[in-house]
């Protein structure tokens, strides 16, 4: 199993943690409101979703775009040794609190894995490997240590390197690159836009029209792509684009994707 493969949710090895630990609010993404720590009404006795094949039709689009980056199986099988919260209800609260912490760490590992696959960032690989090893060790910590961890501080350390990686990748595109970091581009008409090598970190691209846009080697870490139109867009070499971001967007068979990401079934 490769590192990138391991950093994908394996629901069969999880105790339905995203269906219990996380809160839902009635919206376009969820048909119900659910408090953190309360099992979703669709979770069955085997920790499986009873409407998995009908989530979009039943109003649970948010579930179809979510990925825990493997935190579910890590917490279920490693942190808590394969004993579920129904068998040991005294562990439930701690398990549910640990899950989002590990999820953040696993997401950071995914970004670090992507950074290490970049030849443009080869000079940063030693520092990236050190942080990768440190982050991996943190995910294996006991619950008390995980809950005491300053995840935000660790994320800042990782992000310092990821910024440099993004800059090195974007520099492979000649000419001046656009900086739309954190920009409000909700519903923007960007069809056919030349955004190769652009930084779109944290940009709000909700329902933006990026049909046929050139997004090669762009930095999309944290960009909100919910309902963004990516039909015919070229995302080849885009850095830090995640599967959940793609799952939340709209595209088709002509959308060009970075290596390692799959075309969502609903496209």
Q: At what angle do helices 125-139 and 92-116 cross, to 10 degrees?
A: 170
Rounded distance, CA 225 to CA 228, Å?
5
Rounded distance, CA 59 to CA 192, Å?
32
pLDDT tens digits along 28-72: 999 999 999 999 999 999 999 999 999 999 999 999 999 999 999
Q: Domain map of the chain by residue range?
A: 3-169, 177-267
Q: What is the pLDDT of residue 224?
A: 97
DSSP string, 183-235: -B-TT-B-TT-B-TT-B-TT-B-TT-B-TT-B-TT-B-TT-B-TT-B-TT-B-
Mean model confidence pLDDT for the chain:
95
pLDDT tens digits along 155-187: 999 999 999 999 999 999 999 999 999 999 999
Q: pTM of the entire structure?
A: 0.92
Averaged pLDDT for residues 236-259: 96
Q: What is the pLDDT of residue 6?
A: 82
pLDDT tens digits along 131-150: 999 999 999 999 999 999 99
pLDDT tens digits along 91-116: 999 999 999 999 999 999 999 999 99
Q: What is the pLDDT of residue 64?
A: 92
Question: Coil, helix or strand for 214?
Answer: strand
201 near 220, Cβ under 8 Å?
yes
Name the superfamily (CATH) of residues 177-267: E3 ubiquitin-protein ligase SopA (2.160.20.80)
184 near 140, Cβ under 8 Å?
no
Rounded distance, CA 53 to CA 98, Å?
28
Query: Residue 77 has what DSSP assignment?
Result: I
Q: Which of 4-8, 117-121, 168-172 has the lowest mean pLDDT?
A: 4-8
Q: Is a pLDDT exceeding 70 seen at residue 244?
A: yes
């Amino acid at each position: 199993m490769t590192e990138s493969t391991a950093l994908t949710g394996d629901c069969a090895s999880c105790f339905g943690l995203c269906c219990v630990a996380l809160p839902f609010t009635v919206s376009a993404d969820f048909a119900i409101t659910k408090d953190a720590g309360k099992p979703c009404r669709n979770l069955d006795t085997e920790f499986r979703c009873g409407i998995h094949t009908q989530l979009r039709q039943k109003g649970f689009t948010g579930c179809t775009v979510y990925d825990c980056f493997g935190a579910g199986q890590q917490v279920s099988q490693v942190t808590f040794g394969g004993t579920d919260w129904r068998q040991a209800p005294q562990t439930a609260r701690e398990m549910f609190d640990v899950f989002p912490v590990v999820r953040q760490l696993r997401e950071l590992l995914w970004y670090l894995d992507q950074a290490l696959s970049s030849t443009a960032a080869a000079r940063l690989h030693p520092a990236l490997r050190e942080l990768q090893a440190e982050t991996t060790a943190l995910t294996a910590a006991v619950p008390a240590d995980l809950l005491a961890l300053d995840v935000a501080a660790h994320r800042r350390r990782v992000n310092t390197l990821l910024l440099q990686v993004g800059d090195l990748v974007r520099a492979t595109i000649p000419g001046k690159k656009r900086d739309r970091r954190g920009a409000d581009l909700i519903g923007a008409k960007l069809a056919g836009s030349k955004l190769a090598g652009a930084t779109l970190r944290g940009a709000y691209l909700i329902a933006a029209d990026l049909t046929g846009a050139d997004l090669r080697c762009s930095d999309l870490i944290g960009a909100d792509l919910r309902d963004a139109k990516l039909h015919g867009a070229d995302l080849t070499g885009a850095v830090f684009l995640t599967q959940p971001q793609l799952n939340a967007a709209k595209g088709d068979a002509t959308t060009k994707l970075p290596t390692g990401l799959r075309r969502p079934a609903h496209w």
